[in-house]
Amino acid sequence: MQLSPETAVVTSTIPVETLALDVTGMKCAGCVSVVERNLTEYPGVVAARVNLLTELAVVECEAGQVNAIALADKLTSIGFPTQPRSSQSGETSTLTPTQRREQEAKEQFQRLIIAGLLVCLSTVGHIGHWFHGPMLPVFSNIWFHWGLATLALLLPGRSLLLDGWRGLWHKAPNMNTLVGLGTLTAYITSCIALFFPQLGWECFFDEPVMLLGFILLGRTLEQRARRRASAAFESLLALKPKVARLIGKSALAADGLGIEIPVDQVRVGEWLRVLPGEKIPVDGEVVVGQSSVDESMLTGEAMPVLKQAGDGVTAGTLNQSGVLTIKATRTGEETTLAQIVALVEAAQTRKAPVQQLADTVAGYFTYGVLAIASLTFLFWYLFGTKIWPHVLLPMAEGMGHPMVEPSSPLLLSLKLAIAVLVVACPCALGLATPTAILVGTSLGAECGLLIKGGDSLERVHQLDTVVFDKTGTLTRGEPTVTDCLCVGEWGMGSGPEAQPPIPNTQSPMLYNL
């Protein structure tokens, strides 16, 4: 796989090998920037590309100089759990990327349910100021809201806060760092106001609850969008057969079906049996048998191709009619289908120029937001409340507290700084371009169009000529009637064969012309 040379320049005199790593824990383009920086700083690595949607890092390094496990351990130590991708199956040794994403989606939905319940209870507390009933005063109690905020931080917000702290500890702050700082600042300030009422500060325990609830809602919607975006690529992976029927040469005369083994264990030269309706497990050559094989997933041709002894077959194509015995010629990553999947997967890591710009900006985005939030606090605390003193008046309408003062420049400054922290999110900046590239390249691969990367896809709009290199004639694959020649009485026939076909149907007579 060839990577674009933006991260580092690969000289032709250095033998290069490619490593693939499954990287989890990335939340935004800022995380991608941190992972790429740590990879390129590792001794022996000459280039690295990371994709946020597929959670894949493709690393080019000097041959024999980099240990994939040690490289994965380095990323794990900075808060991004990483495993080398298996060279045979294309999957990790524990869970496949699809299974891992499904598990994360379930956990995310559970956290969202808990956060939503806490938000509803917090909202009921505010309604208690308007209605009076036997239970509403309990929901309006300030200690009740303290309990809600504490539960929100310990249950649905726990993983978010820990991830943000890890990023800050490793000098790689991310979006979770911003949200964590905002919610913890609001919670700690409210706790000080609660336990030291003589200060006259306002309690706003509802802010951590609301912030975490809406952040988790956004994360859940974002996760679903990412899963839909990767569905086309996962359907391409689904074309790869999982098992093969291994037979011995002496079994040719028998009717045995062979032994089912994982496709990854098939070796070159071994003989396999393929029954009707099964996919060809590996690239091979037909030894015994004759059958029609559907190769539309590879060539786009709708008509099946007759295969008999001596003909080559391709992994992933569908055996339709007869029983075939084939000899494996290419297995694992050497098969045609595996190379197509590898090409599409590598295309996800090749960044378009606009994505490189977005990732560069997102890499410094978190630091910029922290600086702006600090300046916001200082401005309003030192100057803003003195220039516009009337902005302090609405603060007296907070939760019921025995000693709330109508003026508190510190709390107003904190609230505005918290707002800057939590509303600034680089996720959309870093997700838009890779999502578009993933969908475009994956759908193209399903239709037989291989796109080498986002940089190539971005230049397509400049094309004015498309040249097709294909044997035969390009058609839509559906015959149509161009002329109608009437012979004798057929022109006025009234039999059922002469009746016009029903609209929106596919006439069997038309397709048999």
CATH number at residue 270: 2.70.150.10
- Quick one: DSSP state of residue 79? T
**Could you tell me if residue 481 is inside a domain?**
no
Which residue type does 174 have?
N
CA-CA distances (angstroms) from residue 471 to 343, 468, 475?
24, 9, 12
Q: Which residues contact 128 (CB under 8 A, 6 or more apart)?
A: 136, 137, 139, 140
Q: What is the pLDDT of residue 513?
A: 45
Closest CA to 159 of 148, 174, 144, 147: 174
How does DSSP assign 482-500, residue by residue? ------GGGGG--SGGGSP
**Could you tell me if residue 397 is inside a domain?**
no
Judged on CB neighbours under 10 Å (0-12, 13-18, 19+), 487 is exposed
Residues 282 and 295 in one domain: yes
Confidence of residue 405 (pLDDT cuts 50, 70, 90): very low
**Could you tell me if residue 438 is inside a domain?**
no
- Mean pLDDT confidence for 54-80: 88
Residues 104 and 173 in one domain: yes
CA distance 37 to 170: 13
Which pTM value belongs to this model?
Answer: 0.66
- Mean pLDDT confidence for 334-338: 87
Residues identified as active-site: 469
Residues 114-154 have pLDDT tens digits of 999 999 988 887 775 565 555 567 777 889 899 999 999 99
CA distance 355 to 275: 46
Residues 47 and 106 in one domain: no
CA-CA distances (angstroms) from residue 480 to 110, 135, 477, 484, 491?
54, 74, 10, 11, 19
Q: What is the pLDDT of residue 485?
A: 80
Judged on CB neighbours under 10 Å (0-12, 13-18, 19+), 111 is buried
Q: What is the pLDDT of residue 363?
A: 66
Closest CA to 273 of 295, 288, 253: 288
In which residue are the tokens 């026939």 written? 493
Q: What is the pLDDT of residue 347?
A: 67
Q: Which residues contact 502 (CB under 8 A, 6 or more apart)?
A: none
Which range (111-125, 282-296, 372-386, 425-439) has the least confidence?
A: 425-439
Rg (CA), the chain: 31
Cα 38 from chain centre = 21
CA distance 246 to 276: 16
CA distance 344 to 441: 7
Residues 227 and 330 in one domain: no
Crossing angle of helices 409-423 and 353-379, in 10° steps, is 170
How many domains, the chain?
A: 3
Residues 184 and 232 in one domain: yes
**Could you tell me if residue 282 is inside a domain?**
yes
Residues 253 and 333 in one domain: yes
Give the CATH number of the domain where residue 80 resides: 3.30.70.100
Residues 310 and 250 in one domain: yes
**Could you tell me if residue 500 is inside a domain?**
no
In contact, 240 and 263? CB cutoff 8 Å: yes
Residues 3-34 have pLDDT tens digits of 444 444 444 467 888 888 988 888 777 788 88
In contact, 445 and 340? CB cutoff 8 Å: yes
Residues 270 and 154 in one domain: no
- Mean pLDDT confidence for 292-308: 85
* Higher per-residue confidence, 273 vs 498: 273
Q: Is the pLDDT of residue 454 over 90?
A: no
**If you count them, how many residues does the chain have?**
513
- Mean pLDDT confidence for 27-46: 86
**Could you tell me if residue 478 is inside a domain?**
no
Residues 103 and 222 in one domain: yes
In contact, 401 and 308? CB cutoff 8 Å: no
Q: Print the domain residue range for 78.
A: 16-84
In which residue are the tokens 């029927």 written? 245
Residues 160 and 121 in one domain: yes
Q: Which of 15-19, 230-234, 402-406 has the highest mean pLDDT?
A: 15-19
Residues 26 and 122 in one domain: no
Which range (126-140, 209-223, 282-296, 451-465) has the least confidence?
A: 126-140
Q: Is the pLDDT of residue 2 over 60?
A: no
**Could you tell me if residue 135 is inside a domain?**
yes
* Higher per-residue confidence, 11 vs 250: 250
Residues 200 and 103 in one domain: yes
In contact, 142 and 128? CB cutoff 8 Å: no
Q: Is beta strand 243-247 parallel, antiparallel or unpaired with respect to 312-313?
A: unpaired
CA distance 358 to 256: 58
Q: Which of 114-123, 190-199, 365-374 has the highest mean pLDDT?
A: 114-123
Q: What is the pLDDT of residue 395?
A: 47
**Could you tell me if residue 364 is inside a domain?**
yes
